[in-house]
Amino acid sequence: ELKVEQNPLFLSMQEGKNYTIYCNYSTTSDRLYWYRQDPGKSLESLFVLLSNGAVKQEGRLMASLDTKARLSTLHITAAVHDLSATYFCAVETSGSRLTFGEGTQLTVNP
- List of residues contacting another protein (CB under 8 A): 33, 35, 41-43, 45, 48, 88, 90, 92, 95-103
Q: Are the C-beta atoms of residues 87 and 103 closer than 8 Å to each other?
A: yes
Q: How far is the CB of 68 from another protein (least distance, A)?
A: 23
Q: How far is the CB of 110 from another protein (least distance, A)?
A: 25
Q: Cis (ω within 30 of 0) for the bond into 8?
A: yes
Q: How far is the CB of 77 from another protein (least distance, A)?
A: 24
Q: How far is the CB of 17 from another protein (least distance, A)?
A: 26
- Nearer residue to another protein within complex by CB, 19 or 100: 100
- Nearer residue to another protein within complex by CB, 80 or 98: 98
Which residue type occupies 15?
A: E
Largest Cα span, the chain: 43
